[in-house]
Amino acid sequence: MPTDTGFPASAAKDADLRLTAPAGWRGTTGRLAIAGAFLICAAVYAATGSGENALLLALAAGFGGYMALNIGANDVANNIGPTVGARVMPIGAALVMAALCEAAGAIIAGGEVVGTIRSGIIDPALIPSTQAYVWAMLAALLAGAVWLNLATAVGAPVSTTHSIVGGVLGAGIAAAGPAVVNWGVMGNIAASWVVSPMIGAALAALCLYLVKRGITYQPDLRAAAYRGVPLLAAAMAWAFTVYLLLKGLSKIVDVTTSMAVLGGLIVALAVWGLMRGHVARRLTRIENSKDGVNRLLGIPLILAAGALSFAHGSNDVANAIGPLAGIVDALGTGEFHGRAAIPLWVLVLGAIGLLIGLLTYGPRVIRTIGDELTDLDPIRAWCIAMSATMTVILASQLGLPISTTHVTVGAVLGVGFLREKLKTRHAAIIAEIRAHHPQGDSAAAEQFIARFHATPFGARKAMLADLKARNRAGVPAPLDREDRKVLDRAHRRDLVNRSLMLRIFAAWIVTVPATAVLSALIYYTLRGILMP
């Protein structure tokens, strides 16, 4: 794994300790006991006073709670992983903050009418009976939860939405045949496996490059930070305000896109003013370096992680409680519907499940996103959060079904691969500078390199051209394209964990088919056990 964190050695060592789960939640027995107690309580509560439907409601509450636990354990890493990986806050504090925000989002903004057949994947009218519908939803919940549990155990961040999609797909086919499936929707979901990470990677890389050009490549980093950091905070405030209004609070109040954009601008202006004053007060106390700039982004990143967690709780809790609400509605009315209002107890069950899953099993996947794929610092974490938010907003407006997990992981990889490219190119340029100085005159080469780094980024190309024009005698001929490729490969630095990346991609590819097959098997098993 890459070790160049951008921090002093002692600070990096201390920061690594922050990526370890809090001591009270490390024990396997303790975590299993907490999760088991939650599921038993949920099942008993659902069965109490339910008469002849007690067994089915107990199973539904247990499976729904199990799904909520695994969503908390796997999916919430998208929201706080970059912030923790950037060493902005320790993992214990991040877990508590995210858990509270997730639960608040689920309870405050997650209780409106939710489609129990996720994204129109199947046509419920084609399912032969209410009984078959209930079995299908039970199978979908359990299959999705088991797959997420396996993914979390190996530290693979996978899409919780795709997990429940696969579960509904498999159970629907088992209950009513292939004709029940909306294959157009499934085609869009399959396309999102490629589109989501690519968009996230491209936007994150673009953000990082612009930040480097505008701030960290400037000779006077303090002056550049005074100009740029308030703009970064304002841009993030705008994006997250729009995100919260469109993806979270829109479930409580009617929010149009124009209203969300205007609200984001108002918040962004306020944040710009506050951050400008904050940066001005701190400039004299930070060093003129990239580390100094990084220290100015801590508060915006913490607020961003909280906002993402709130929005996630309001939206993705439906992956657990949507099918559960459909089961409760079907058993209560004797009919099944495409949409069903969520009872309060179901909503609370989902919120508590998210909270417990995050606190007990969340650190494993958080380490994957925040520390194991590539090294992060606050600037890179800002780029990841910004690109993920913008991608989700854009996809929502275009009606594209994307996975926030895929977007976030793609953004992490985009940042890592851009850093590889820039560091490799920089090393090749330094090698060229040394080659265009007479042998043995290392002092002159070092002086030129120092002046090169102190020159504004836009003027460096002309500086290199002038060096080559003045020192052609006695040095190698100018490098052609093939020579440059050879030189780039010689100085290449791998900053992305490729083996882990390939394992994650493999998990993404098999998520829907694996959960579909598992769900079909569970459906047939439940039907065999429960059929009169």
- pLDDT value for 335: 72
pLDDT of residue 38: 94
Structure tokens at 23: 């001591």
Question: Comparing C-alpha atoms, which of 448, 301, 318, 445 is closest to residue 379?
Answer: 301
| 9 pLDDT more than 50 | no
| Token pair in block for residue 337 | 């519907």
**Confidence at 523, pLDDT banded by 50, 70, 90:** very high
Q: Which residues pair with 181 in a beta bridge?
A: 122
Closest by Cα among 367, 318, 339, 308 to 144: 318
Q: According to the model, what pLDDT value does residue 65 have?
A: 94
333 against 372, higher pLDDT? 372
The neighbouring-strand residues paired with 339 are 115
pLDDT at 16: 45
Quick: pLDDT tens for 448-496: 888 887 777 777 778 887 777 776 654 555 555 665 566 556 556 678 9
Mean pLDDT value of segment 315-331: 80
- Tell me the mean pLDDT in the region 375-390: 90
390-440 pLDDT, tens digit per residue, is: 887 787 677 666 788 898 999 999 999 999 988 888 887 887 787 777 765
Place of tokens 């969300």: 260
Q: Would you state the pLDDT for residue 479?
A: 53
For the chain, give the percent of residues with pLDDT over 90.
31
Q: What is the pLDDT of residue 2?
A: 37
Nearest to 148 by CA among 139, 140, 138, 157: 157
Q: What is the pLDDT of residue 457?
A: 74
Place of tokens 């099942």: 43
User: What does the pLDDT look like over 90-135, one tens digit per residue?
Assistant: 888 888 888 888 888 777 766 554 454 545 788 888 888 888 989 9
Distance CA 258, CA 242 (A): 10
> What's the confidence (pLDDT) of residue 490?
56
The predicted-structure confidence for 222-270, as pLDDT tens digits, reads as follows 889 999 999 999 998 898 888 778 766 666 677 788 888 999 999 999 9
pLDDT at 527 over 60: yes
Average pLDDT over residues 60-76: 91
How large is the average pLDDT for residues 12-37?
63
Query: pTM to 2 decimals?
Result: 0.83
Q: What is the pLDDT of residue 467?
A: 78
pLDDT in tens, 333-357: 777 665 666 788 888 898 899 889 9
How confident is the model at residue 128, as a pLDDT? 87
At 418 the pLDDT is 93
Q: What is the pLDDT of residues 154-192, one digit of tens each?
A: 888 998 888 988 999 999 999 999 999 888 888 887 887
Confidence band, pLDDT 50/70/90 cuts, at residue 4:
very low
Q: Give the rounded distance of the alpha carbon of 410 from its chain centre.
A: 9
- Which tokens sit at 4? 């160049």
Give the model's pLDDT for residue 148: 94
Q: Is 375 left (phi over 0), alpha (psi -120 to 50) or beta?
A: beta
Residue with tokens 């479930």: 251
| Per-residue pLDDT band at 329 (split at 50, 70, 90) | confident
CA dihedral for 132, 138, 139, 140, sign (positive or negative): positive
Q: What is the per-residue pLDDT for 491?
A: 53
pLDDT confidence tier of residue 384, bands split at 50, 70 and 90: very high
Confidence tier at 12 by pLDDT (50, 70, 90):
very low
Lowest mean pLDDT among 51-55, 139-143, 148-152, 200-204: 51-55
User: DSSP H helical segments within 283-403, as ranges?
Assistant: 290-294, 298-316, 318-333, 344-367, 378-398
Nearest to 263 by CA among 255, 273, 272: 255
Q: What rounded mean pLDDT belongs to the chain?
A: 82
Residue 88: is its pLDDT beyond 70?
A: yes
8, pLDDT greater than 50: no
